[in-house]
Amino acid sequence: MRVGGQAELLLEPKNPDEFQKACKACVERGIAPIRILGGGANILVADGVLRGVVIATACLQRVFRPGAGGESEEEASAEMPGEFDMELPSAAMVQDDPARDPRLVAWAGCTLPKLLRTARELGYSGLEGIVGVPGSLGGGVAMNAGGRWGDMWDVVESVRVLGAGGEFKDLARADCTPTYRNGGLGNEWVVGAVLKFEPKPRLQIQEAMSEYLITKNKVQPVTAWSAGCIFKNPPAEVSDGRSAGQLIEQSGAKGLSCGDAEVSERHGNFIVNRGKACAADVFELMEAIRKHVLDATGVELENEVKIWRNEPDEGESQSS
Ligand SMILES: Cc1cc2nc3c(=O)[nH]c(=O)nc-3n(C[C@H](O)[C@H](O)[C@H](O)COP(=O)(O)OP(=O)(O)OC[C@H]3O[C@@H](n4cnc5c(N)ncnc54)[C@H](O)[C@@H]3O)c2cc1C
């Protein structure tokens, strides 16, 4: 969205061990809150200085195959967040391997576009549905990013998280309860994940991605400065099956603006920054939209976007 202020403290760990040390150091020094920044594609930061610390995962970029190069599966996955130096083999090598294991390990900061490109090159299907979604693996898992063609958690086999005590924990998919736009991890931070795909011809994967992207680009303001969908789609029984975008449009809120923040002409659930908007403009516009929709339809919209601002009694570690 390109609005908002600055972090008081910013840490950029370059591997999972540093991520763990950074969290422990902040806890030991009583620095709070600790906020985790992925790609920032679904966050609105308030104007001014944000108290506490932001830990950015941007340098945790690795993606690799578990067990590649002859290690046992156990050894490889045990090393997931540590020093695993096996590079990805060429796509041709993998496609020719009849016993290929269609899984990938990705660290939290691996961007979703990079992950999708890697999977496509290797002939791994399962994430095509989130093509065009910006951000990182960690943010995608935390938010259960997705849409009508599938969600991030469809391919998650396990997630390695940092618990509140600063210890690494591996959570199997069966022990997690992701829901609509919520990975259900609470205050546990994603360090990386093991993703399980289905082998498919690369062309088929590419064709699906192109089709979804074309459809998406027609209805979303993909090149404008935005934070994606601002509000969650309400449960169908509350909204008669109407999406947040449809409710906004029907309530007449589509033309609203505040400063340089305006409701996108292309998609009612996107607020775009025309250039000089500040966070206060966006917050004001969000409340105006919420009121319009409530008055016109009786439905109360809930934020999808995460808001980072200083709270008087801030002690929590992740935003609400
Ligand atoms: C143009 C556009 C289109 C979009 N389209 C879609 C779409 O179709 N579907 C969809 O679901 N979303 C969409 N989004 C929203 C966004 O891309 C997703 O929510 C994405 O998953 C956010 O990832 P991120 O890394 O940028 O997370 P951030 O925005 O950095 O963070 C989002 C939340 O996740 C938390 N988080 C980030 N990393 C971690 C971590 N390692 N561990 C624990 N918590 C973490 C943050 O603390 C924050 O609470 C869109 C956004 C834009 C700008």
Topology classification of domain 6-58: 3.30.43
Q: Which atom of ligand 1 is nearest to the CA of 1?
A: 53
Q: Is 110 a catalytic residue?
A: no
Nearest CA to ligand 1 atom 9: 146
pLDDT for residue 19: 97
What are all long-range contacts of 171-176, with beta carbons under 8 Å and residues at least 24 apart? none
282 residue type, one letter: V
Per-residue pLDDT of the chain (320 residues; tens, 9 = 90+): 999 999 999 999 999 999 999 999 999 999 999 999 999 999 999 999 999 999 999 999 999 988 654 344 444 443 443 333 334 455 555 555 655 789 999 999 999 999 999 999 999 999 999 999 999 999 999 999 999 999 999 999 999 999 878 899 999 999 999 999 999 999 899 999 999 999 999 999 999 999 999 999 999 999 999 999 999 999 999 999 999 999 999 999 998 999 999 999 999 999 999 999 999 999 999 999 999 999 999 999 999 999 999 988 654 444 43
234 in Cβ contact with 247 (< 8 Å): yes
pLDDT for residue 28: 94
As to burial, measured by CB atoms within 10 angstroms (0-12 exposed, 13-18 middle, 19+ buried), residue 47 is: middle
Nearest CA to ligand 1 atom 35: 139
Per CATH, is 63-205 categorized as 3.30.465.10? yes
231-302 and 63-205 share a CATH fold: no
Q: Which atom of ligand 1 is nearest to the CA of 43?
A: 29
pLDDT for residue 84: 36
Question: Domain limits of the chain?
Answer: 6-58, 63-205, 231-302
Q: Which atom of ligand 1 is nearest to the CA of 318?
A: 47
Going by C-alpha positions, the residue among 320, 278, 319 that lies closest to residue 54 is: 319
Compute the Cα dihedral for 102, 88, 116, 156 and give only its sign.
positive
Q: How many residues does the chain have?
A: 320
- Selected catalytic residue, list 51, 117, 173, 181: 181
What CATH number is given for 231-302 in this structure?
3.90.78.10
Q: Is 304 a catalytic residue?
A: yes
pLDDT for residue 318: 43
| Helix, strand or coil, per DSSP, at residue 92 | helix
Compute the Cα dihedral for 104, 135, 37, 153 and give only its sign.
negative
pTM: 0.91
| Helix, strand or coil, per DSSP, at residue 221 | coil
Residue 23 near ligand 1, beta carbon < 6 Å: no
Which residue out of 43, 128, 133 has the highest number of ligand 1 atoms within 8 Å of its CB and is therefore the one to mutate? 133
Nearest CA to ligand 1 atom 48: 306
Cis amide linkage into residue 33, ω under 30° from 0: yes
pLDDT for residue 91: 56
pLDDT for residue 165: 80
